[in-house]
Structures are given as C-alpha cells and as structure tokens.
C-alpha cells in the first residue's frame, strides 16, 4: 500500500501517481496507478483504490463525468446550431408525406446509401438531423422532438434501449410510405446497422417526396405532378 515511501509505478517508485510518468506518459503509469485518458488527448496518472477494475475507480469516474459532460455539451451545441440551419433551409421547405396522393412503396437496398455521398455525409456527421427530417416528413414525429430523441439515444446511455424505440418509429414510417414493415426486423437493422438503415430510410423518404438533399443544406424539389406520376409508375 502507498505510504511514506510513495507509490509503486510498476517499474519504479515515485512520490505519487502524478510523478510516476515523469513526462513519459502512460507507459510509466502502472502498478498502484492507472492511466486515465482525456477525451481530447493526453491523460493523467491516477491512484487505484483497490477496487480491481480501474473503470470503477472514483478518480476515473470523476474524469469521465467531467470530460464526458464537456464533450456532450460541445457536441450538443454544434448539433443545435447546424440543426437550426438545416431546419430553415431543408425541413421547412419539404412537402409532407400526407400531401402526396400516390405512395409508391418502393424500397431501397440496405447499402444503397453508400452510393450517395451526400446521404453518407449527413448520416455520419448529423444522424439526429436526418432522423428528425424522416420522422417529420412522414408525420410520425415533429422535427425537433425527433432530432432530440435521436441525439439522446445515440449520445447517452439510452443507446442501450434506443434500437427498440427506433424500431417502432421506423416501422411506422415504412407503413406511411406504403411499405410492409416488421418491428422485429427493424429492431435488428437498428441494432446492428443503424447508419445504413437511417440512410436507406432517408433516401426512400426523399424519393417519395420528389426531393434531393445535397451537402450542405441544398434542397432540390421535383414538381408535385412529376412526383405523383413517378410514384404511380413505380407502384405499377
């Protein structure tokens, strides 16, 4: 146990854990100490408490709570700013699914989104916005509640139950577009391949509405008549 002689750093003795690394980083932080990395790089050598698992160490928990909170707040702020712009330039101009008379019910392949750079970019960087747009356009949920729900589901411990929630919402969106949907299948897609599933849904929603969304926040709409005829031909 650490005492007057200091702490065992794994290969040498130091006055305390902070003195273990001596500028050498995590490689010199062992023994009675462990390395707690910071989210933005670097880290700190901290004393173990004897609980066995460093993840249960109060020092590690303090680091996690502080650093995670800062990271979460910054991410949320940046997402909010971009969401405001996205809502003004894209979502507020989109027609709603309830206004479309003919629903084609056409389905995309799970990995077809990989052929759309804009869709991939939006899903990778702004998944909550894409989810909010899909939910809003299909009338399942308004943009802001849908966006916030997805952000919380992806960036908090709620990620454990989010696939269940999204499966229900996704099935409702599919039925709105005239597709057959199973909550169990949607759950598996959401659990194991959520980015591709979200991208696929986004492309299906856009096709039904006659919309093309490009980076960054560029929206092109096909005329209502052309969209209805296109959906009718696809349904035939």
Q: How far, in Å, are 131, 141, 150, 152, 194 from residue 65 at the CA level?
A: 28, 32, 21, 16, 27
Q: In percent, how much of the chain has pLDDT > 90? A: 42
- Please answer whether residues 33 and 24 qualify as being in contact, where contact means their C-beta atoms are separated by less than 8 angstroms: no
The model's pLDDT over 158-212, given as tens digits with 9 standing for 90+, comes to 888 999 999 999 999 999 988 888 889 999 999 999 999 999 999 999 998 989 9
Burial-class residue 136 by CB neighbours within 10 Å (0-12, 13-18, 19+).
buried
The model's pLDDT over 121-145, given as tens digits with 9 standing for 90+, comes to 999 999 999 999 999 999 999 999 9
- Please answer whether residues 179 and 200 qualify as being in contact, where contact means their C-beta atoms are separated by less than 8 angstroms: no
The token pair that represents 220 in the structure block = 């092109």
Among the ranges given (46-50, 109-113, 171-175), the one the predictor scored with the smallest mean pLDDT: 46-50
What's the pLDDT band for 40 if we cut at 50, 70, 90?
A: low
3: which strand partners? 6
Q: What DSSP element (H or E) covers 206?
A: helix 194-209
Q: Which residues, 6+ apart, have CB-to-CB distance to 223 below 8 Å?
A: 210
The predicted pLDDT at position 179 comes to 86
What's the pLDDT band for 86 if we cut at 50, 70, 90?
A: very high
pTM: 0.71
Q: How far, in Å, are 82, 105, 122, 171, 225 from residue 147 at the CA level?
A: 12, 25, 13, 17, 30
């Amino acid at each position: 146990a650490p005492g007057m002689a200091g702490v065992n750093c794994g290969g040498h003795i130091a006055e305390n854990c902070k003195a273990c690394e001596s500028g050498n980083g995590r490689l010199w932080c062992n023994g009675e100490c462990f390395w707690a990395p910071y989210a933005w790089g670097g880290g700190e050598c901290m004393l173990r408490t004897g609980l066995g698992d460093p993840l249960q160490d109060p020092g590690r928990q303090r680091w996690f709570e502080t650093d995670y909170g800062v990271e979460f707040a910054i991410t949320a702020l940046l997402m909010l700013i971009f969401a405001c712009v996205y809502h003004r330039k894209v979502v507020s101009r989109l027609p709603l699914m309830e206004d479309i008379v003919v629903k084609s019910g056409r389905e995309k392949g799970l990995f077809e989104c990989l052929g759309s750079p804009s869709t991939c970019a939006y899903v990778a960087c702004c998944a909550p916005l894409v989810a909010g747009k899909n939910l809003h356009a299909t009338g399942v949920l308004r943009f802001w509640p849908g966006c916030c729900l997805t952000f919380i589901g992806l960036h908090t411990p709620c990620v454990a139950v989010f696939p269940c929630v999204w499966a229900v919402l996704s099935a409702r969106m599919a039925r709105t577009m005239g597709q057959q949907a199973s909550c169990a299948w949607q759950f598996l897609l959401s659990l194991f391949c959520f980015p591709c599933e979200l991208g696929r849904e986004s492309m299906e929603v856009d096709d039904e509405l006659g919309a093309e969304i490009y980076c960054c926040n560029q929206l092109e709409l096909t005329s209502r008549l052309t969209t209805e005829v296109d959906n009718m031909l696809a349904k035939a």
